[in-house]
Structure 1
Amino acid sequence: MTMRVRRAGDTALLVDVEDLSVAHRLHAAVRASGVPGVVEVVPGERTVLIVADPVRCDLDRLAARLPFLTPAERAEDEAAAIEIPVVYDGEDVAEVAELTGLSAEEVVRRHVSGSYVVAYLGFSPGFGYLTGLDPVLHVPRRSNPRTSVPAGSVAIAGPYAAVYPSASPGGWRLLGRTEAALWDVHRDPPALLRPGARVRFVR
């Protein structure tokens, strides 16, 4: 794996990698390595943040070890996709159809047909950025974000699809809604989605 390792403050390393697939594999490899003192491993689109307890983990030694970790195969590739049922009655379906030159029905069909992977989590607890959106549906965010988007809203923006885990402001284009709980503090783990997991939207 080609990577660039940098210090991120006194307690973390930020690793730049080639692409999302490598980020997921490095994330899994670090977690599986059992390095003492590693507190958290957070994958991004082309980065992995490794947070450690400096009392129990020498960051310089860890940085030197990273290129030699055996890249883990993504177990998620073999796991069943997480299915998210959707009612496609979103406020922006017609606008997305206009932007893409498709019919509203074709917008929905293409969204349902996608094979998605959770790139990373961010923005709010449980919010997964999903890759795999049909390129024709790559539309920009709204110029005027909504002050409140309901929890369960299924949305797209740029190359990503997502589901809002909780009510929050947002500028993504709303295609529909789901009753699936993306974030539940009484569940272990609370987040339904995890980096590297496969996702299918079901009409």
Structure 2
Amino acid sequence: MIQFTPVGDSGVLAVCGSEISEQVNAQVMALDAAVQAAQLPGVVETVPTYAALLVTLDPLQTDADTLIPALRRLWDALPPVSSTAAGRLVEVPVCYGGDYGPDLAFVAQHAGLTEQQVIDIHCGRDYRIFMLGFLPGFPYLGGMDERIVCPRLQTPRTKIPAGAVGIGGKQTGIYPLASPGGWQLIGRTPLRLFDPAGGGKLPYAAGDRIRFVPISPEKFETIQKEQGAAL
């Protein structure tokens, strides 16, 4: 049962469910697409999350009392949504271990596995992007294998390089920019995921799927040179 709640005078929060699941997230993405296609007057931006959609509005053009009925009509008109109806599949090359993934050994020890087994498990499935947040373009990925679940660092690092791939609890993700962070770093991608100078366009969006592809250090250096130095 969807719930619509005003957020101050400049937004409406549409909560599609109470659990993290691909089915609920697919409903969020479907509503997001419908809102964008409808071009409702006064709507400024939409922000899809795990189980909710934030619709921001211009209070000089509309208000929650006007927007909520319009959103409900869009919701009621949605066709049945499948959890498998995802967007694009984006392959992300990753060099695992060593200087690229300094915490791979710890993750392997914590899981009772070899480092290669952790790599194989991490690369062995596609991950749905449930939402973007924390940093510009940081993908929160669902569906990680329970065998490689690992706690965050007790003391976060003050700087993590752009492209670092980490595990934090039951989630895995990619740091698009150099930043502080507390996830266990198991590898790094040479792809330049977020470039403010290039307009900030990302190679993926919420609702897409990511597949990690292991590469050698030599391949990492080649791709990085082709793309330019990471931010």
TM-score (normalizing by structure 1): 0.91
- What one-letter code is carried by the residue in structure 1 that aligns with 2:15? D
Compared with structure 1, are the counterparts of its residues 156 and 78 closer, same or farther at alpha carbon in structure 2 (3 Å cutoff)? closer
Find 2:55's aligned residue among 22, 44, 50: 50
For residues 185 and 78 of structure 1, what CA distance do their matches in structure 2 show?
A: 27
The answer to whether the Cα contact below 8 Å between 1:77 and 1:198 also exists between their aligned partners in 2 is no
Q: Which has the larger radius of gyration?
A: 2
Which residue matches 2:16? Answer: 17
Tell me, what secondary structure is at the counterpart of 1:176?
A: strand
Compared with structure 1, are the counterparts of its residues 79 and 17 closer, same or farther at alpha carbon in structure 2 (3 Å cutoff)? closer
For residues 53 and 38 of structure 2, what CA distance do their matches in structure 1 show?
A: 15
Which residue matches 1:197? Answer: 208
Query: Could you tell me the percent identity over the aligned residues?
Result: 38
Which residue matches 1:29? Answer: 34
For residues 134 and 71 of structure 1, what CA distance do their matches in structure 2 show?
A: 32
The answer to whether the Cα contact below 8 Å between 1:122 and 1:128 also exists between their aligned partners in 2 is yes
For residues 22 and 142 of structure 1, what CA distance do their matches in structure 2 show?
A: 33
For residues 160 and 181 of structure 2, what CA distance do their matches in structure 1 show?
A: 6
- What one-letter code is carried by the residue in structure 2 that aligns with 1:196? G
Deviation at 1:163, TM superposition (A): 0.9
For residues 169 and 78 of structure 1, what CA distance do their matches in structure 2 show?
A: 30
The number of equivalent residue pairs is: 201
Taking the TM superposition and a 5 Å limit, the aligned residue runs for 1:1-203 are: 2-18=1-17, 19-69=24-74, 70-71=77-78, 77=85, 79-89=87-97, 90-188=101-199, 190-203=201-214
TM-score (normalizing by structure 2): 0.81
Which ranges in structure 2 are unaligned for 5 or more consecutive residues? 18-23, 215-231
- What one-letter code is carried by the residue in structure 2 that aligns with 1:9? G
Structure with the larger helix share: 2
Deviation at 1:130, TM superposition (A): 1.0
In the TM superposition, what whole-angstrom CA distance separates every residue of 1:21-74 from its partner, at most 9, and x where no partner exists? 222222112112211111100011111110011222232121122222133768
Tell me, what secondary structure is at the counterpart of 1:66?
A: helix
The answer to whether the Cα contact below 8 Å between 1:87 and 1:178 also exists between their aligned partners in 2 is yes
Deviation at 1:181, TM superposition (A): 1.4
Compared with structure 1, are the counterparts of its residues 188 and 82 closer, same or farther at alpha carbon in structure 2 (3 Å cutoff)? farther
The answer to whether the Cα contact below 8 Å between 1:125 and 1:191 also exists between their aligned partners in 2 is no
Compared with structure 1, are the counterparts of its residues 80 and 120 closer, same or farther at alpha carbon in structure 2 (3 Å cutoff)? closer
Which ranges in structure 1 are unaligned for 5 or more consecutive residues? none
For residues 200 and 86 of structure 2, what CA distance do their matches in structure 1 show?
A: 20
The answer to whether the Cα contact below 8 Å between 2:96 and 2:186 also exists between their aligned partners in 1 is yes
The answer to whether the Cα contact below 8 Å between 1:126 and 1:192 also exists between their aligned partners in 2 is no
Which residue matches 2:224? Answer: none
